[in-house]
Structure 1
Amino acid sequence: MSRYYVNMNSQSNGDHEVHKYGCSYMPREENRIYLGNFDSCAPAVREAKKTYSQSNGCYYCAYACHTS
C-alpha cells in the first residue's frame, strides 16, 4: 500500500492532482491533503473527488488514473 495525497492547488485546467508519496512532483506539505493508504491510485482519486470533484491522477506517479 502507498500513501496518497491531493494537491490543494488546481492545475491550469482545474484538476487537483493526486500523488503517491515520494513523487518528484508532489506538492509542498502545506499544499496537500493526505487521502490515506491505498493499493492503487483509483481509490485514492475517488477519495480526492469527495473534496475536489475535478481530481485526476498525476501523469508521473499515478499514470493509470491520469486523464488528459
Structure 2
Amino acid sequence: MAAYYVNDNAQPVSGDHEVHVSTCSWFPLIASKTYLGDYSSCSGAVAKAKTIYRSSDGCAFCCAACHKG
C-alpha cells in the first residue's frame, strides 16, 4: 500500500491534475495537494482523484501505469 495524493493545481498544457505517490521525486514540489488514501495500485487512486477533479491522470514517473499523457 502507498499513500496517494492529487495535485490541486492543473498541469498548464494538458489541464490534468496529476496523481502522485508520497515517495515521488516530484512530490515535494507540489504546493497544494489533496490526500486520496492508501492504495495498492495507481488505478484506484486515479479513480478517486477523478471524483474530485474530472481531468486527472497518473504522474509519468511514479504512476506510469496510469499515465495517459
TM, length-normalised to structure 2: 0.92
Aligned to 2:38: 37
Compare the two structures and name the one with the higher helix fraction: 2
Runs of 4+ in 1 over 2 A off after TM superposition: none
Deviation at 1:32, TM superposition (A): 0.3
Aligned to 1:11: 11
Aligned to 2:66: 65
TM, length-normalised to structure 1: 0.94
Q: Which runs of 5+ in 2 are unaligned?
A: none
Q: How many residues align?
A: 66
Q: Which runs of 5+ in 1 are unaligned?
A: none
Matched-pair identity in %: 48
What value does the CA root-mean-square deviation take over the aligned residues?
Answer: 0.6
